[in-house]
Amino acid sequence: MSARVGILGPGAVGGTLAVRLAQAGNEVICVARPDTAAAIRSQGLSLRHGRDVTTVHPEAVEELREPVDLLVVAVKAPALEEALDRVAARPETTVPLLNGLEHVQAIRARVDGHVIAGSIGRLEAYREGPAQIVQVTPSPLVTLASADGAEEALRGAGLEVRIGPSERGVLWEKLARLAPLAAATTITQRSLGELRSDPEWRATLEAAVDEACAVAAADGVVLKRTAQWEILDTMPASVTTSTARDAAAGQPTELDAIVGAVVRAAKRLDVPAPTFERLLAQAEEACRPLLR
């Protein structure tokens, strides 16, 4: 059964999902800034994965004015407040796929309807233009805090969907490994493979993962350090992060939403996190010359 799906932010993540959802027969509405919406209206939205290129022609608007069954929020944290101004209609279900811990409550305060925390993994993608997305990795994994309307549409689009143990569990499970990696790749502009093979950086990443798991435990979420490292050790060596790419391009980054969120949670829960505090300071310093 097809659904009416809004994609708030058809960038790398949102654009990948928009193409796959449209391919599956859903009515997709991309909600974007004026230049991006205009490009999608004139060119369609294309996704290149290996040698395969798929182009779809979803509706593209600057403001969501009609209700949707599902709204996927796929903007990055620095753009969230502005993006939510574009939502004028009530979604039945909203699934935020942002990184971090603090965005779900911010969205609940602004958007009516049911909000289900989610995360997306196994996806490395980037924009080649306002309406062109390149997907580097295989099919992504979406994890949801509950199965309530969103699961069927996402699975129907060929995505793997898992149901997590709790809202905090869904957010922390990804953040515990992403936060160390986002900081390290931003500071060094090196890939995961290079960081793994550097003894000093591997030790730093291990210490940061340990701290993240300790903070998560104090927040009621039990994570296994070995499981986090099994994922990091099996990810492609070429993997980097959008945080590092944004920093290199002199764009606003998600450092505060990702790494800063761990530091703030550690302080709130009275858990020592010296490695994260140091990484955050170094990453912010690395970004300053690029943002001028």
Please give the average per-residue pLDDT across 91-103, as a whole number: 97
List where CATH 3.40.50.720 sits in the chain.
Answer: 4-163
Scanning 189-273, the segments in alpha helix (DSSP H) are 192-197, 199-218, 225-234, 242-248, 255, 261-269
Q: Smallest Cα–Cα separation from 33: which of 14, 52, 5?
A: 14
Domain 4-163 class in CATH: alpha beta
pLDDT in tens, 164-201: 999 999 999 999 999 999 999 999 999 999 999 999 99
pTM here is 0.95
pLDDT in tens, 42-69: 999 999 999 999 999 999 999 999 999 9
Contacts 24+ apart (CB under 8 A), 11-14: 11/74, 11/75, 11/76, 11/127, 11/133, 12/125, 12/126, 12/127, 12/133, 12/242, 13/74, 13/97, 13/120, 13/123, 13/125, 14/72, 14/74, 14/75, 14/97
List where CATH 1.10.1040.10 sits in the chain.
Answer: 167-291
E strand or H helix at 118, and its extent? strand 118-121
Out of 1.10.1040.10, 3.20.20.70, 3.40.50.170, 3.40.50.300, the CATH code matching 167-291 is 1.10.1040.10
